[in-house]
């Protein structure tokens, strides 16, 4: 944990440098828009979901490597847990950022659904961080149980939401969004099965990575999209709208 805390200033400095590079150039017409910020965050979360997930798998192989010293196995398990936390944190925010982005392609969300989209990521992330930093305590164990339950809720709720939105015609302007959501639910399910230690772990892992890459591919191509980007003001109005 101490090493992670020592890395925080470096990460903060890197983010600050990135923000400085993205700042408006003097004399330019405009700065970074809300849409561009969300697109950046979406890519950022994808990178820090897939990359650390691959790294966690590598460390997990070292943790069970035949002939490896016990000290090396212990260090590998610690590194696997810490690196995996980065993937889990990125995953927890993906639906919130993606849901906000979907508004820009013409998808209208009821006020209650938008409220759920906005709240889901921060709540999910807090549970993950609480379970990680308070590991070994009753509070951490409770946070871990709640986060696991939340995962199952998302796994079930996301496909139901896609079916409801498809039948209601809400996804006609951007059908690829429904496909990405179904991939997210499938990836999350495979993650759950992988964590339970069931057989065919390599198949689950391959499905996770393939699903993430397929979702990224759909996000780039946007097959079937017919709507123009929604103005920034309409997003703010949707988030702040009353019942």
pTM here?
Answer: 0.76
Question: Distance between CA 155 and CA 158 in Å, rounded?
Answer: 6
Residue 187: other Cβ atoms inside 10 A = 24
Q: 52 lies in which domain range? A: 34-240
In a domain, 76, yes or no: yes
In a domain, 59, yes or no: yes
In a domain, 2, yes or no: no
In tens, the pLDDT along 180-205 reads 999 999 999 998 888 776 667 778 88
Q: What is the mean pLDDT of the chain?
A: 81
In a domain, 15, yes or no: no
Structure tokens at 153: 């809720």
Question: Distance between CA 25 and CA 40 in Å, rounded?
Answer: 18
In a domain, 103, yes or no: yes
Among 185, 175, 122, which residue's Cα sits nearest to residue 154? 185
In a domain, 20, yes or no: no
Q: How many domains does the chain have?
A: 1
**pLDDT: which is higher, 105 or 142:** 142
What CA dihedral angle connects 63, 92, 218 and 173, to 10 degrees?
170
Query: Residue 71's pLDDT is what?
Result: 80
* CA 64, 56, 71, 136 torsion-angle sign: negative
């Amino acid at each position: 944990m101490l090493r992670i805390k020592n890395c925080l200033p470096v990460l903060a400095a890197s983010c600050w440098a990135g923000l400085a590079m993205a700042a408006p150039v003097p004399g330019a017409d405009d700065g970074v828009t809300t849409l561009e910020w969300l697109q950046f965050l979406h890519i950022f979360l994808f990178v820090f979901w897939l990359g650390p997930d691959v790294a966690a798998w590598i460390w997990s192989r070292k943790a069970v490597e035949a002939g490896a010293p016990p000290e090396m196995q212990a260090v590998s398990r610690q590194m696997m847990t810490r690196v995996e936390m980065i993937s889990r944190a990125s995953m927890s925010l993906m639906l919130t950022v993606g849901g906000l982005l979907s508004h820009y392609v013409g998808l209208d969300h009821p006020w209650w659904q938008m409220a759920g989209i906005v709240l889901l990521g921060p709540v999910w992330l807090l549970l993950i961080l609480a379970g990680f930093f308070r590991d070994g305590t009753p509070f951490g164990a409770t946070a871990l149980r709640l986060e696991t339950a939340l995962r199952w809720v998302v796994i079930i709720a996301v496909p139901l939401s896609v079916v409801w939105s498809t039948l209601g015609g809400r996804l006609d302007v951007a059908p690829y969004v429904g496909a990405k959501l179904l991939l997210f639910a499938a990836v999350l399910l495979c993650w759950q099965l992988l964590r339970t230690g069931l057989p065919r772990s390599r198949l689950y892992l391959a499905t996770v990575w393939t699903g993430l890459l397929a979702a990224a591919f759909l996000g780039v191509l946007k097959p079937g999209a017919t709507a123009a980007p929604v103005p920034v003001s309409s997003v703010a109005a949707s988030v702040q709208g009353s019942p």
